[in-house]
Structure 1
Amino acid sequence: MIPKIIHQTAKNKKLSWEERMLRKRAMKLMPDYDFKLYDDQENRAIVAKHFPEYLSKYDNINKGVAKADVIRLIYMYLWGGYYCDTDYKWLASPDKFSLNECICILPISRGQKDNIECLGNAVFGSEPKIEFWKDFIDYLFQDSEISQLQENRIEKVTGPEGLTKFFLANRTKYPYITLPQSNMFHPRLKGVSALTDSSSIGIHHCWSSWRSGSFKDKLKIYIKRKITAIN
């Protein structure tokens, strides 16, 4: 059974107004879940306590978003539950679809079960101590690129594309992993809306606040954040 825990992380726990709105919404939808929020110092302490052999490599990761990619795997391995980004909007509790009865959930972001294009890492769930997470953690820390990531490589190494690559290369080792179709956790976005259906449990709004960009790009993201937080 997947524990009723929601893990999230933010640099210093100072969530934006939009992030607070989404978090409050989730808490109302899931009053029986334990909501956790970790900052950078707490994340480092978790690595130091539970993965001391990787602490120096963790400290050397040069992109904060890549550290966030790694620490969410550690939450899953240590405690299980669900991880979700702070720009993820829950539409329903996992209880609605009996998802907590699964062992490990990796939602498909693009593609189908027999032709996975990309798994999402903005949200996933698991029982604790599942070997998949430990194997992927070990795999990432063996990659020297993790300490010198360029922005355009983050998604390919520690992010969703890196997760997808590792899973597909080792899929037969993890027959217990459930792969929900994209419209359940990652319905397609169209402007500030999402093409949801009766199976949709949430929406990843993809604010991409960590990306660099022009003033125009940042203004678009700012407007998108405000609208999608209240829709």
Structure 2
Amino acid sequence: MHSKIIHYCWFGGSLPEHQKEYIEGWRAAFPDYEIKHWHEDNIPSDDVYVERVLAAKKWAFLADHVRLYALYNYGGIYFDTDIKVIKNFEDELTNEVECLFGFETDASSNKHYVGTAVIAAQKKSSFIKSFLNQYDNRLGRMMARNDRVTGPKVLTPLLEQKGLSSSETQNLGNIRILQRALFYPSSEEELQNCYTKHDWDGSWRTPGKKNLGDRLYKKRRKLFEKLLGRRNNR
């Protein structure tokens, strides 16, 4: 049975006003769900991973880990703070579905990555535990090199070991992966039938940092905004 909790992570200051609007949208779509904010004061202080990345103020590293900690220990749904819920997707959360993910890319990309901005899982999911362990195992290398491997690049190989193929909706035992358009639409047409939309806010990035990653992020966001017919008002 799936817990009626929506989790989100925000560290290092107050949540921007425009992102609070997303949370109000979650409440409207899931009115009987508790919304739980994970922050510096309620995360597991005795966890070695949490202790090290919190001390270094590596908020993205921290959110990668805490989202899985929350889902494993409490169950429910996790959203990045720039996820807009278009419609409720509880019909996907049957008792047979231990975990629910969605493809972030599809056949038009070189790699079929599964996203981590929207995840649903039952409490004490063995798959979420194995996913969480991947971060614990990588901690030393990531901290030494300041090398954050994004969630989809950690998650997708784990699912490939279970038989992940193509980029269509599929079930790998009790793990369900939805086609990209349902959680990560990229056109007005896809918006008509999707559950959520990711706005790619990139809020975890260091302000003013001008590196290749930031430039690629900005290009990606502009492409999504063009496809969705949106203007960048930020």
Distance 2:163 2:52 in 1: 27
Alignment of 1:160 onto 2:156: no
Distance 1:90 1:2 in 2: 18
Per the TM alignment, residue 179 of structure 1 is displaced from its structure 2 partner at its CA by: 0.5
Per the TM alignment, residue 159 of structure 1 is displaced from its structure 2 partner at its CA by: 2.1
Aligned counterpart in structure 2 of residue 182 of structure 1, from 167, 180, 183: 180
Distance 2:15 2:50 in 1: 26
Q: Output one character per residue of 1:91-120: Cα deviation in whole Å (capped at 9) or x when no partner.
A: 11122x3424422112111126xx961011
Look up the match of 2:199: 205
Look up the match of 1:33: 33
Q: Which amino acid aligns with 2:5?
A: I
Look up the match of 1:122: 117
Distance 1:47 1:119 in 2: 29
Whether contact under 8 Å (1:19, 1:229) holds in the other structure is no
Per the TM alignment, residue 66 of structure 1 is displaced from its structure 2 partner at its CA by: 1.1
Compare the two structures and name the one with the higher helix fraction.
Answer: 1
What TM-score comes out, normalization by structure 1 length?
0.76
Report the CA distance shift for 1:169/1:219 in structure 2 as closer, same or farther (over 3 A): closer
Distance 2:218 2:133 in 1: 38
Look up the match of 2:93: 99
Whether contact under 8 Å (1:13, 1:38) holds in the other structure is no
Q: Secondary structure at the match of 1:138?
A: helix
Q: Secondary structure at the match of 1:89?
A: strand
The residue correspondences of 1:61-72 to structure 2 (distance < 5 A) are: 63-72=58-67
Per the TM alignment, residue 146 of structure 1 is displaced from its structure 2 partner at its CA by: 2.5
Q: Secondary structure at the match of 1:111?
A: coil
Look up the match of 2:72: 77
Look up the match of 1:169: 161
Per the TM alignment, residue 139 of structure 1 is displaced from its structure 2 partner at its CA by: 2.2
Report the RMSD for the aligned CA atoms in angstroms: 3.3
Look up the match of 1:16: 16
Report the CA distance shift for 1:186/1:168 in structure 2 as closer, same or farther (over 3 A): same
Q: What are structure 1's unaligned runs of at least 5 residues?
A: none
Q: Secondary structure at the match of 2:192?
A: coil
Q: Which amino acid aligns with 1:123?
A: V
Q: Secondary structure at the match of 1:109?
A: coil
Q: Secondary structure at the match of 1:110?
A: coil
Alignment of 1:136 onto 2:134: no
What TM-score comes out, normalization by structure 2 length?
0.75
Whether contact under 8 Å (1:107, 1:120) holds in the other structure is yes
Report the CA distance shift for 1:15/1:58 in structure 2 as closer, same or farther (over 3 A): closer
Whether contact under 8 Å (1:110, 1:119) holds in the other structure is yes
Higher RCO (C-alpha under 8 Å, 6+ residues apart): 1
Q: Output one character per residue of 1:147-169: Cα deviation in whole Å (capped at 9) or x when no partner.
A: 2354xx42xx2422122123323
Distance 2:52 2:117 in 1: 23
Report the CA distance shift for 1:209/1:13 in structure 2 as closer, same or farther (over 3 A): closer
Per the TM alignment, residue 80 of structure 1 is displaced from its structure 2 partner at its CA by: 0.7
Whether contact under 8 Å (2:10, 2:37) holds in the other structure is yes
Which stretch of structure 1 is more off in the superposition, 100-109 or 56-65? 56-65
Look up the match of 1:145: 141
Which stretch of structure 1 is more off in the superposition, 59-68 or 33-42? 59-68
Distance 1:133 1:124 in 2: 10
Q: Secondary structure at the match of 1:105?
A: strand
Per the TM alignment, residue 25 of structure 1 is displaced from its structure 2 partner at its CA by: 1.5
